[in-house]
C-alpha cells in the first residue's frame, strides 16, 4: 500500500528492522552509509535494493536532511554495487519512488537497481 512520504519516519518499517538485524536479508554490500540486498520480490534477473543507514522516509527527505557525507556515501554505494555486479557495460536502471502517486510502499528511502536483461521502456504507455 502506498505511503505518505511527508509523514515522520516509522522506525518499525521493514528496512529499519533489516538494518537492526531483526529480519534477515541477502546482502551484497554494506558500508557506513548504505546497505544493499536482494529484493525478495525480484522484478528482473538482478533486483537489488540499496538503502541508506540513516532514518530517511524518501528521496525528498534524504536530500533535505542528509549530510553531505551520507548523500555522497549512498550515491557511491549504489554505483559500487552496480559495478561489482557487472551491470555497467550491459546497462542497468535505478528507481526511487517517493510518495503515493509513485507507489512508494516502505517509508524508508530505497533505490531499486535493476539489470540482467533488456528492461524495455521506462513507463508503460
Q: Can 110 be counted among the known catalytic residues?
A: yes
Residue carrying C-alpha cell 554490500? 29
Contacting residues for 83 by C-beta, under 8 A, at least 6 apart? none
Torsions phi, psi of 112, nearest 5? -85, 130
* 117 burial type by CB count under 10 A (0-12 exposed, 13-18 middle, 19+ buried): exposed
Grid cell at residue 116: 540482467
Which one from 29, 33, 108, 110 is the annotated catalytic residue? 110
Residues noted as catalytic: 110
Amino acid at each position: 500500500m502506498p505511503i505518505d512520504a511527508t509523514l515522520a519516519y516509522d522506525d518499525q518499517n521493514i528496512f529499519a528492522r533489516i538494518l537492526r538485524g531483526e529480519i534477515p536479508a541477502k546482502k551484497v554490500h554494506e558500508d557506513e552509509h548504505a546497505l544493499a540486498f536482494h529484493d525478495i520480490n525480484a522484478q528482473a534477473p538482478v533486483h537489488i535494493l540499496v538503502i541508506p543507514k540513516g532514518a530517511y522516509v524518501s528521496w525528498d527527505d534524504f536530500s533535505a536532511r542528509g549530510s553531505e557525507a551520507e548523500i555522497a556515501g549512498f550515491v557511491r554505494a549504489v554505483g559500487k554495487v552496480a559495478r561489482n555486479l557487472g551491470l555497467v557495460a550491459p546497462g542497468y536502471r535505478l528507481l526511487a519512488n517517493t510518495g503515493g502517486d509513485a507507489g512508494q510502499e516502505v517509508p524508508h528511502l530505497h533505490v531499486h537497481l535493476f539489470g540482467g536483461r533488456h528492461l524495455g521502456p521506462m513507463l508503460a504507455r
